[in-house]
């Protein structure tokens, strides 16, 4: 009886151990699959890079808030709105757009400022005048010339639901919404590597020299929301960003970008696009 008892219990233990091993292995496989399969929001960004380019229109509101100090007594927050429309070529790392301020009308293209970015340098002109080199202030809103660049190292990616909406044309569009937290340090690392690569190619960065991480990105915080269509490509991105404060004021931004016409880079006719703001959801 003792031997039979031991044999039966040893058999049960062996079965239980085998079952536990199978379950643990299954869990490991599922975690591995989850690691190998990118998040749908990041997969959408990969498809954008495969397409190589996109058109965009963006609404940007910049809020400047004075810091609490004796010198800022009496100062109040200011809001400045900008409207952008243009195209980005990710393969050539170029961007062209027209920018309107809140005081100008998008229905009058001549009121807007033309801008283009090539090799990290921004140029601007207005009214058909000569191009002039300017500071690339838009780099803070489109890291590396890509409005989707904020997805670098995005944290806390969550799906918040799917929707179907009817466009003014009567056409319906379905999409899934994802939220995320902006990872400033990860973004700063990418921007530093990008700048180092550009300077090295131009022969302006000595061998062995490394650049500091840009503070404007490293200390940036914020949240975002990405809408991905049924075709797996982004339709809209909404961002709320807080930039590191300087000595006197803090700056934040509310950004909404609509994306369309992936893989199409025709020359943009500014007179023809003024009233064509693409997809309005």
Question: Tokens 């590396």 belong to which residue?
Answer: 144
The answer to whether residue 270 scores a pLDDT higher than 60 is no
Query: pLDDT tens across 157-172, in order?
Result: 999 999 999 888 888 9
The answer to whether residue 51 scores a pLDDT higher than 90 is yes
Please give the model's pTM, rounded to 2 decimal places: 0.78
Averaged pLDDT for residues 196-213: 83
Torsion of CA 42, 47, 52, 58, to 10 degrees: -60
59 lies in the same domain as 120:
yes
CB atoms within 10 A of CB 270: 15
The answer to whether residue 173 scores a pLDDT higher than 50 is yes
Output DSSP code: residue 73.
Answer: T
Q: How many residues does the chain have?
A: 281
170 lies in the same domain as 244:
yes
Output DSSP code: residue 136.
Answer: -
Share of the chain above pLDDT 70, in %: 78
Contacts of 266 (CB under 8 A, 6+ apart): none
Rounded CA-CA distance 267/55 in Å is: 11
112 versus 45: which is more confidently predicted? 45
Please report the pLDDT score of residue 195 as a whole number: 80
240 lies in the same domain as 120:
yes
Share of the chain above pLDDT 90, in %: 41
114 lies in the same domain as 89:
yes
Provide the β-strand partners of residue 165. 173
The answer to whether residue 225 scores a pLDDT higher than 70 is yes
Rounded CA-CA distance 83/241 in Å is: 17
Rounded CA-CA distance 221/239 in Å is: 11
Rounded CA-CA distance 276/281 in Å is: 14
Which tokens in the block code for residue 238? 């909404």
Query: pLDDT tens across 101-130, in order?
Result: 876 565 565 678 899 988 778 999 987 789
The answer to whether residue 9 scores a pLDDT higher than 70 is no
89 lies in the same domain as 24:
no
Please report the pLDDT score of residue 35 as a whole number: 46
Task: Classify residue 175 as exposed, middle or buried by CB count within 10 Å of its CB (0-12, 13-18, 19+).
Answer: buried
The answer to whether residue 45 scores a pLDDT higher than 60 is yes
The total domain count for the chain is: 2
Per the CB < 8 A criterion, the answer to whether 178 and 159 are in contact is yes
Rounded CA-CA distance 251/242 in Å is: 6
67 lies in the same domain as 27:
no
Q: Picking from 38-52, 134-148, 250-264, which range would have the lowest pLDDT averaged per residue?
A: 134-148
Please report the pLDDT score of residue 18 as a whole number: 44
10 lies in the same domain as 106:
no
- What domain range is 20 assigned to? 1-37
Query: pLDDT tens across 232-249, in order?
Result: 999 999 999 999 998 889
Question: Does some domain include residue 213?
Answer: no
Please report the pLDDT score of residue 204 as a whole number: 84
Question: Does some domain include residue 7?
Answer: yes
Exposure pattern of 214-232 as b/e (b: 16+ CB <10 Å)?
bebbbebebbbbbbbbeee
177 lies in the same domain as 269:
yes
53 lies in the same domain as 117:
yes
C-alpha gyration radius of the chain: 25
Check which CATH number belongs to the domain holding 126 and give it.
2.50.20
30 lies in the same domain as 47:
no
Rounded CA-CA distance 172/120 in Å is: 38
The answer to whether residue 14 scores a pLDDT higher than 60 is no
Banded pLDDT at 281 (limits 50, 70, 90):
low
Please report the pLDDT score of residue 47 as a whole number: 96
């Amino acid at each position: 009886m003792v031997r039979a008892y031991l044999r039966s219990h040893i058999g049960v233990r062996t079965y239980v151990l085998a079952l536990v091993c199978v379950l643990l292995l299954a869990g490991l496989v599922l975690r591995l699959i989850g690691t190998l399969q990118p998040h749908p929001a990041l997969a959408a960004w990969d498809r954008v890079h495969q397409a190589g380019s996109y058109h965009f229109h963006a609404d940007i509101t910049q809020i400047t808030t004075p810091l609490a100090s004796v010198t800022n007594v009496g100062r109040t927050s200011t809001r400045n709105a900008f409207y952008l429309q243009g195209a980005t070529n990710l393969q050539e790392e170029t961007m062209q757009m027209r920018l309107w301020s809140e005081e100008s009308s998008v229905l009058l293209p001549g009121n807007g400022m033309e801008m283009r970015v090539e090799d990290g340098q921004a140029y601007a002109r207005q009214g058909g005048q000569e191009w002039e080199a300017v500071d690339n202030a838009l780099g803070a809103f489109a890291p590396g010339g890509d409005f989707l660049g904020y997805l670098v190292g995005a944290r806390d990616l969550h799906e918040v639901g799917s929707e179907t909406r009817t466009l003014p044309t009567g056409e319906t569009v379905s999409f899934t919404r994802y939220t995320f937290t902006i990872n400033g340090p990860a973004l700063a690392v990418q921007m530093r590597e990008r700048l180092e690569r550009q300077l090295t190619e131009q022969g302006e960065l000595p061998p062995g020299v490394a650049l500091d991480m840009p503070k404007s990105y490293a200390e940036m915080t914020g949240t975002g929301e990405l809408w991905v269509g049924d075709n797996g490509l982004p339709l809209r991105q909404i961002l709320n960003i807080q930039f590191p404060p300087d000595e006197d004021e803090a700056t934040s931004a509310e950004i909404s970008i609509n994306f369309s016409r992936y893989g199409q880079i025709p020359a943009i006719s500014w007179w023809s696009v003024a009233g064509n703001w693409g997809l309005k959801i």
